[in-house]
């Protein structure tokens, strides 16, 4: 969906159009669930956090002045909600291990699986930056906004994560 379409949906949702709000939920929900799972390693907690963010957003959407800020606002609110739930429920952060039912994997799927495992081994700070920048495709400035860190810190964490991933994947290839 193009940014202009998202902007229009935000304006419509702000004026009370439930269908527009529903479209926003449908569009962003999978990305938010993936991000929440990535942060927490717990699918149930991720679903709870995302649901809480949607409820909060439905009440506060009218206060959003710039519709282009919606995406970073959602991810930032979700990050805070996950941290609150983890603290309240004493969930532990853990890497998500992918389960595959198929015994025979093609070469590209094996590479994706190795990359997922390597990303899961990254420290939380670096994993979050990699996820937001490459998988959610947020610009550096928005990643900084979501994580509430300077843009230079985002760049250094990205660099550190890339080096770490490169080392892990090179090591896996040679063994």
pTM (two decimals):
0.71
Q: Which residues does the chain have with pLDDT short of 50?
A: 91-103, 173-175
pLDDT at 118 (0 to 100): 86
Q: What is the pLDDT of residue 99?
A: 39
Q: How many Å separate Cα 159 from the centre of its chain?
A: 19
**Residue 101 confidence (pLDDT):** 38
Measured between alpha carbons, how far is 105 from 101 in angstroms, rounded to an integer?
A: 10
pLDDT at site 73: 93
Looking at residue 172, what is its pLDDT? 54
Residues in the chain: 175
User: Domains in the chain, ordered, with CATH?
Assistant: 1-92 (1.10.1740.10), 103-175 (1.10.10.10)
Complete DSSP assignment for 10-37: HHHHHTT-HHHHHHHHHHHHHHHHHHHH
Report long-range pairs for 61-70 (Cβ below 8 Å, ≥24 apart). Answer: 61/10, 61/13, 61/14, 61/21, 62/14, 64/10, 64/14, 67/6, 67/7, 67/10, 67/11, 68/3, 68/6, 68/7, 70/6, 70/10, 70/24
CA dist 54 and 86 (Å) reads 18
pLDDT at residue 94, rounded to an integer:
43
What is residue 87's predicted lDDT score, i.e. its pLDDT?
80
pLDDT at 106: 62
Predicted pLDDT of residue 149:
94
């Amino acid at each position: 969906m193009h940014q202009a379409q998202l902007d229009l949906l935000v304006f419509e949702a702000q004026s009370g159009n439930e269908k527009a709000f529903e479209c926003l939920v449908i569009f962003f929900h999978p990305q938010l669930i993936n991000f929440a799972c990535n942060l927490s390693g717990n699918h149930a907690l991720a679903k709870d956090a995302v649901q809480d963010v949607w409820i909060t957003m439905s009440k506060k959407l009218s206060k959003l002045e710039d519709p282009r800020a919606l995406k970073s606002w959602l991810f930032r609110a979700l990050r805070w909600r996950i941290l609150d739930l983890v603290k309240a429920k004493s969930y532990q952060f853990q890497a998500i291990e992918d389960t595959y039912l198929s015994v025979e994997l093609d070469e590209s799927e094996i590479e994706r699986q190795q990359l997922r495992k390597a990303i899961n081994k990254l420290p939380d700070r670096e994993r979050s930056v990699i996820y937001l920048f490459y998988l959610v495709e947020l610009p550096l400035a928005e990643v900084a906004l979501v994580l509430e860190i300077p843009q230079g810190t985002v760049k250094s964490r990205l660099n550190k994560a890339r080096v770490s991933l490169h080392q892990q994947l090179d090591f896996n290839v040679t063994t």
